[in-house]
Amino acid sequence: MAKFTPTPVTRAGVRRRRAEESDARTKRERTLLAAILQDESGKAFVLAQKEKARALIRTPAYGALYDACVARGVTFSLSAYVRELEPAEAEAVSAILREEGVIGDAARACRDCIAGLRKMEREEEIEAMQERIAQPGLPKEEYESLLREYAELLKKNK
């Protein structure tokens, strides 16, 4: 029987994985915004505000659009907003809606996106914690403290 040898992690592999994670994060942000923009009842908007969704949005253009929604409130008019934008910005907003298509249950989509974005953040915290734990020469007290924090992060991420 052949001995198991783990595949070495290459820098290219790490970059590729991070790019895929970034794409998934951007997709969730885009879906979140599309849900808010398409929901005429305003439930998705209220939910996003309650859940502090803005803190989860990293893409600058998406953050600006979310901020515009907040500034205008539940009665946000996408067509009025797009008319105020520069052509390139207006195209970016239109692309969000084109790429996402029609979202049936906007509040549920919003809730799912927020949960997914939070999970991604916890996974990033776990990865950062693993890197800190792996540092050579950590004092024993710091190492043990990091291990406790790491265990807590793993519990939260289940």
Per-residue pLDDT of the chain (158 residues; tens, 9 = 90+): 444 333 444 555 555 555 666 789 999 999 999 898 888 888 999 999 999 999 999 988 889 888 988 887 766 677 777 788 788 777 877 777 777 777 889 999 999 999 999 999 988 988 888 888 888 888 889 988 988 988 888 888 77
Give the residue extent of every domain in the chain. 20-117
- Residue from 53, 79, 82 nearest 66 by CA: 53
Question: In sequence order, which residues have a C-beta less than 8 Å from that of residue 120 and are 6 or more positions away?
Answer: 21, 24, 25, 28
- Quote the pTM value: 0.73
